[in-house]
A and B are shown apart, each in its own frame.
Chain A
Amino acid sequence: MFRNESRKITSVLCKCFGIEFLQVAEDITHDTFLKALETWTYKGVPPDPVAWLYVVAKNQARNYLKRNTLFLEKISPALQYLNSERQDMDIDTSDQHIRDSELQMLFAICHPSISSESQVGLALKILCGFGIDEIATAFLTSREVINKRLFRAKDTLRRIKADIEMPPDSEIEKRLDAVLTTIYLLFSEGYYSECQDSVLREDFCMEAIRLTALLLENKQTHQPRVDALMALMYFQASRFPARRAGNREIVLYDDQDESLWDQVLIARGAFHLRAASTGSSLSTYHLEAAIAYWHTIKEDTPQKWENILSLFDQLLQIQYSPVAALNRTFALFKVKGPGEAIAVAEKLELTDNHYYFTLLGTLYLKVDQEKARAYLQKAYLLARTSPDKHTILKKMATCNKS
Chain B
Amino acid sequence: MRLATALRTTGGVWIAPLVLGWVWLVTAHEASNEPAYWAGNTVLVGHTLPFYAPACAAFAAWEAGRLRRAGVHRLGAVRGRYAIAFSVLWPVALLGVAAVVACLITVRLQTGVAHDWPHPGVLAMAGYLIVVHTAVGYGLGMMLPRILATPVILVVDYLCLVMPVTITSPMWLRELTGWLDAPYGDVTITVNPMALVVPMLMATGFLAAVLVSAQIAQWRRNRFVRIGAAAVASAVCLGVFTASAVAPVRNWTGDPPPQARTDAPVCADGSPRVCVPVEAAASLGPLTEASKEVVPRLVGAGLTPPKELAFVSEAAHIDKQTWRLFLYRDMRDVDLEASVAASALPVIPPCDTSTDVQEGNMGTLAAWLMVKGGLDEEAIRGQSSEKRAADPRLASVVRKVTKLSPEEQLSWYTRNVRLLQQCKPAPETMPASPPVEG
A and B found bound together: no
Chain A residues near B (Cβ < 8 Å): none
